[in-house]
């Protein structure tokens, strides 16, 4: 028999224009998790005996990420995206600096190339680039893209180590490592502009 779960509203100020409390559902689970609903609602699921302070700390740690995701949802809903704050952009940089190099390390052997330095930037127009010397640059806003789309950008830039152009040979290399690359490119065509706008207004 399933035990009931309890929902309480935990006061938490996410920022101007957001609700001042976050619903927390405590149930028989083992970890704290954050759910972001399509309508922009945030929900926390937590083990039954987690105290409020722990949940507040959990939320505070993810505040930059959360606000950035909410901005993205607004952008996707066709609303004028709210510009990300300095704090949100800093949070994305930190996440990107951990996530993207690990992704490059994982995917470079699949592409079969080496690479140089990895730099995270907040570029206005590009998601990534690759220099002739093999240095890779990535946009920190990639952290707001789905993981598969992020992988695609990494693979795309790594494939420039083989072909410094967008020739059919280049796309054949991309397709070899990322067979669904067309889906990922479509994601950027549909959402990319709104995301870039959220950073630069
Ligand atoms: Zn390219």
C-alpha of residue 78 to centroid of ligand 1, in Å = 28
Quote the ligand 1 centre to 160 CA distance (angstroms): 7
Distance 165 CA to ligand 1 centre (A): 7
Ligand 1 mean position, distance from CA 7 (Å) = 48
Q: What separation in Å is there between the alpha carbon of 109 and the centre of ligand 1? A: 19
pLDDT tens-digit map of 17-60: 555 678 788 888 899 988 877 666 778 889 988 988 898 888 88
Token pair recorded at residue 18: 């957001």
C-alpha torsion angle, residues 105, 135, 191, 106 (rounded to 10): -10
Q: Read off the pLDDT of each residue in 67-84 and give the average, rounded to a whole number.
A: 71
**64 Cα–ligand 1 center, Å:** 29
Pairing of β 21-27 and β 33-36: unpaired
User: CA geometry: angle at 159 spanning 97 and 90, to 5°?
Assistant: 15
pLDDT value at residue 162: 97
pLDDT beyond 50 at 1: no
Coil, strand or helix: which one is 77? coil
What's the CA-to-centroid distance between 112 and ligand 1, angstroms? Answer: 17
Residue 26 Cα to ligand 1 middle (Å):
46
Q: Which residues of 164-181 are buried (b: 16+ CB within 10 A; e: fewer)?
A: eeeeeebeebbeebbeeb
Question: What is the whole-number distance in angstroms between the Cα of residue 121 and the centre of ligand 1?
Answer: 16
Right CATH for 86-200 from 3.40.1170.20, 3.30.70.360, 3.30.2010.10, 3.40.50.720: 3.30.2010.10
- In Å, the largest CA–CA distance within the chain is 62
Exposure string of 41-79, with b = 16+ CB inside 10 Å and e = fewer, is ebebbbeeebeeeebbebbeebbbbbbbbbbbbbbeeee
Mean pLDDT across 82-90: 80
Does position 97 have pLDDT exceeding 60, yes or no? yes
Q: What is the distance in A from the centroid of ligand 1 to the CA of 158?
A: 9
Q: How far is the CA of 130 from the centre of ligand 1 (A)?
A: 8
In this prediction the pTM is 0.64
Instruction: Tell me, in angstroms, the distance from the centre of ligand 1 to residue 89's CA.
Output: 24
Token representation of residue 22:
């976050």
Interval between CA 8 and ligand 1 midpoint (Å): 48
Phi-psi region of 4 (alpha: psi -120 to 50; beta: other; left: phi over 0): beta
Q: Are strands 42-47 and 118-121 parallel, antiparallel or unpaired?
A: unpaired
3-state secondary structure of 67: helix
Task: From residue 152, give the alpha-carbon distance in Å to each of 30, 52, 91, 167, 176.
Answer: 33, 39, 22, 17, 12
Q: What is the pLDDT of residues 177-201, one digit of tens each?
A: 999 999 999 988 888 887 887 776 5
The pLDDT score that the predictor gives to residue 52 is: 87
**pLDDT at 157 > cutoff 70:** yes
CA 178 – CA 153 distance, rounded (Å)? 10
Q: Kindly state the average pLDDT of the residues 106-135.
A: 93
- The CATH 3.30.2010.10 portion of the chain extends over 86-200
Residues, the chain: 201
Ligand 1 centroid to residue 163 C-alpha, Å? 9
């Amino acid at each position: 028999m399933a035990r009931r779960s309890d929902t309480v509203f935990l006061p938490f100020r996410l920022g101007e224009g957001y609700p001042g409390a976050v619903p927390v559902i405590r149930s028989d689970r083992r970890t704290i998790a954050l759910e972001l609903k399509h309508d922009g609602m945030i929900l926390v699921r937590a083990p039954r005996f987690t105290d409020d302070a722990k949940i507040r700390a959990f939320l505070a740690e993810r505040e930059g990420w959360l606000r950035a995701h909410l901005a993205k949802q607004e952008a996707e809903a066709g609303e004028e995206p709210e510009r990300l704050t300095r704090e949100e952009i800093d949070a994305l940089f930190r996440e990107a600096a951990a996530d993207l190099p690990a992704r490059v390390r994982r995917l470079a052997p699949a592409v079969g190339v080496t690479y140089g330095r990895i730099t995270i930037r907040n570029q206005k127009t590009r998601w990534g680039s690759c220099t002739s010397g093999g240095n890779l640059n990535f946009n920190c806003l990639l952290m707001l893209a789905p993981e598969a789309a992020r992988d695609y950008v990494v693979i795309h830039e790594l494939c420039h180590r083989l072909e410094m152009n967008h020739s059919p040979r280049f796309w054949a290399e991309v397709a070899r490592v990322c067979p669904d690359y067309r889906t990922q490119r479509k994601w950027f065509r549909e959402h990319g502009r709104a995301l870039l706008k959220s950073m630069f207004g």
